[in-house]
Amino acid sequence: MTRDISVAERIRDIRESCEMTAEEAAERIHVDADLYKRFESGEEDIPISALYEIAGLFGVDLTDLLTGVSPRLETFSVVRKNEGHEIERCPGYSFRSMAYNFKNRKIEPLIVDLDPVENKKMKLISHPGQEFNLILEGKVRVIVGENSADLEEGDTAYFDATIPHGQAVIGDEKAKFLTVIFHGTDYTIKEDE
């Protein structure tokens, strides 16, 4: 989640420039209007799933919401080790966007660091799309609905991100994984009439 007041202010400014009320925005992203208003005031952490929904609603890139700067690269992007844009999502999770400077992303590659103490407060979340996790360091329990798997370095998980899910550190050591979130095209196949 992010409680950066500048992010909240950007969201409010973009919504107002779209001539949409907070209540309309809340309804469109399927959250309670009071909660949405707390997002915009900076009183409430904004889950990354809500940030994606808000960015999609207003037709802006997630990077625009987080940094106030639009990504400009369209063909090729390089982000050096430890230079991704930091996103604080919730206790125990620290995200770094590894493609924040690439325009019109169809996937969101993130390096996630899990703190073993703070991660104990982990809550399951859901968001549109699909997700891929590759464990880079440590041991991680990936929970997807009623399913879970204990993974170690080199192990992967791929799942439907609309199902409540989360990642928990196993043991007392920090863990790190790459997550790639696909939030692009709707692949619904329609039959010819």
Can you give the residue ranges of every domain in the chain?
Answer: 5-67, 85-182
CA–CA distances in Å: residue 31 to residues 22, 24, 27, 34, 132:
11, 10, 6, 9, 26
Strand partners, 142: 149, 167
Residue 190 confidence class, pLDDT cut points 50, 70, 90: very low
The answer to whether residue 187 scores a pLDDT higher than 60 is no
Residue 153 confidence class, pLDDT cut points 50, 70, 90: very high
**Which of 83, 30, 82 lies closest to 53, judged by CA?**
30
Superfamily of 85-182 according to CATH: Jelly Rolls (2.60.120.10)
The answer to whether residue 189 scores a pLDDT higher than 50 is no
CA–CA gap between residue 177 and residue 114 (Å, rounded): 8
CB atoms within 10 A of CB 27: 14
Segment 131-139 mean pLDDT = 96
The answer to whether residue 103 scores a pLDDT higher than 90 is no
Strand partners, 111: 96, 178
* Identical topology for domains 5-67 and 85-182: no
CA–CA gap between residue 119 and residue 92 (Å, rounded): 4
Q: What CATH code is assigned to 5-67?
A: 1.10.260.40
Residue 155 confidence class, pLDDT cut points 50, 70, 90: very high
CA–CA gap between residue 83 and residue 139 (Å, rounded): 24
